């Protein structure tokens, strides 16, 4: 994100810290108003503002800093104390060892979502072409990671938000990946049918879950997080409409919450999917559920699960 999105009132020249120790002390005082563990965030923000690494901060603690860098760091500290995620302040996030632009119009990619990439890569043969679609691509991290690993796949990515879609397109261009981005609500944006793989990291947090009001999440786009009263609204929608867009033997892969594995598997089975299973993330939480479309296309209702 551009720094201008988080500008703070300019302070007098004498009040702007000119040394790193003073900057870190003032920044810590600001951050502690809203961030319980201030030190890691402070070092990351200071390093980003100074265009250096955390190791450099520790190796040269007495270094002098410019007014612009100090003001940028303190503005970021104020925004971080107000609940803005670090990724929005610096405008980037690493995912799949690639750097992606992120803005408040996109969800911040999580490390656990890298497991969705792993599962999708394992779902289809390594060699040969395939037609893939990601529903709700956000900043495009998952679709671009798949394109990076499988350049011979033909990948569509849909997104309702035009601003998020613009970010995804910029990220694809930055990494030299040619994807087909479509604006629209879930399946309505897709062109064609008979996909080999459909995937999504849909909103799956229950509307009344207190975590939506916590640090970080409260600043991310609600539409990308709120999954309705039980968190399953988008999952049900995708599961019961996916068969019409999958070829026989095609696969559907969905990320979900740690407590939603059983409910998601039930939905997949009721929608006619076979070989339904759930994959666990690196900390042992059920995270990705998937199934294989057997080829029968019969109308079902989302109320079934």
* 211 CB neighbour count, 10 Å cutoff: 12
Residue 196: strand, helix, or coil: strand
CA distances from 227 to 9, 20, 85, 214, 257 (A): 37, 44, 21, 17, 10
pTM of the model: 0.88
Q: According to the model, what pLDDT value does residue 205 have?
A: 96
CA 81-87-90 angle, 5° bins? 90
pLDDT per residue over 201-251, tens digit each?
A: 999 999 999 999 887 789 999 999 999 999 999 999 999 999 999 999 999
* 28 CB neighbour count, 10 Å cutoff: 15
Domains in the chain: ranges and CATH: 3-90 (1.10.8), 92-304 (3.40.50.150)
- Tell me the longest C-alpha to C-alpha distance in the chain: 73
Q: According to the model, what pLDDT value does residue 305 have?
A: 65
Can you tell me the distance from the alpha carbon of 193 to that of 155, in angstroms, rounded to the nearest whole number?
A: 13
pLDDT-flagged residues of the chain (< 70): 1-17, 296-305
What are the φ and ψ backbone dihedral angles of 71, each rounded to 5 degrees? -65, -40
The total number of residues written for the chain in this structure:
305
* Residue in 98, 97, 58, 76 with CA at minimum distance from that of residue 3: 76
Q: According to the model, what pLDDT value does residue 172 have?
A: 98
Pair 227, 202: CB distance under 8 Å: yes
pLDDT per residue over 59-76, tens digit each?
A: 777 777 888 899 999 999
Can you tell me the distance from the alpha carbon of 289 to that of 256, in angstroms, rounded to the nearest whole number?
A: 8
Q: According to the model, what pLDDT value does residue 2 have?
A: 40
* Strand segments (E) across 202-269: 246-255
Q: How far apart are the first and last CA of the chain?
A: 40
Q: Give the CA dihedral 229, 230, 232, 234, nearest 10 degrees.
A: 20
Q: According to the model, what pLDDT value does residue 257 have?
A: 95
Residue 54: strand, helix, or coil: helix
Using the structure block, give the residue that is written with the tokens 């261009």: 173
Residue 93: strand, helix, or coil: strand
What are the φ and ψ backbone dihedral angles of 19, each rounded to 5 degrees? -125, 155
């Amino acid at each position: 994100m551009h720094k201008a999105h988080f500008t703070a009132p300019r302070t007098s020249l004498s009040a702007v810290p000119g040394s790193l120790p003073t900057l870190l002390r003032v920044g810590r005082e600001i951050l502690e108003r809203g961030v319980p563990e201030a030190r890691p965030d402070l070092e990351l923000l200071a390093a980003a503002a100074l265009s250096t690494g955390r190791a450099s901060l520790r190796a040269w603690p007495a270094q002098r800093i410019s007014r612009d860098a100090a003001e940028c760091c303190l503005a970021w500290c104020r925004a971080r104390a107000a609940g803005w995620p670090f990724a929005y302040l610096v405008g980037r996030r690493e995912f799949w060892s690639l750097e992606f632009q992120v803005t408040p119009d996109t969800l911040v990619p999580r490390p656990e979502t890298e497991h969705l990439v792993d599962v999708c890569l394992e779902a289809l043969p390594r060699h040969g072409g395939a037609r893939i679609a990601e529903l709700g691509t956000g900043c495009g991290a998952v679709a671009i990671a798949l394109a990076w690993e499988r350049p011979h796949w033909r990948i569509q990515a849909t997104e309702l938000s035009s601003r998020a879609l613009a970010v995804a397109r910029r990220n694809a261009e930055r990494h030299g990946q040619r994807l087909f981005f479509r604006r629209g609500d879930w399946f309505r944006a897709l062109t064609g049918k008979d996909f080999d793989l459909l995937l999504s990291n849909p909103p799956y947090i229950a509307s009344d879950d207190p975590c939506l009001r916590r640090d970080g999440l409260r600043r991310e786009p609600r539409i990308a997080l709120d999954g309705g009263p039980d968190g399953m609204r988008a999952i049900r929608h995708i599961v019961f409409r996916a068969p019409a867009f999958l070829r026989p033997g095609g696969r559907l892969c969905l990320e979900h919450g740690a407590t939603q594995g059983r409910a998601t598997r039930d939905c997949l089975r009721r929608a006619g999917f076979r070989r339904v299973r759930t994959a666990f993330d690196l900390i042992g939480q059920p995270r990705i559920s998937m199934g294989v479309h057997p080829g029968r296309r019969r109308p079902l209702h989302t109320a079934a699960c």
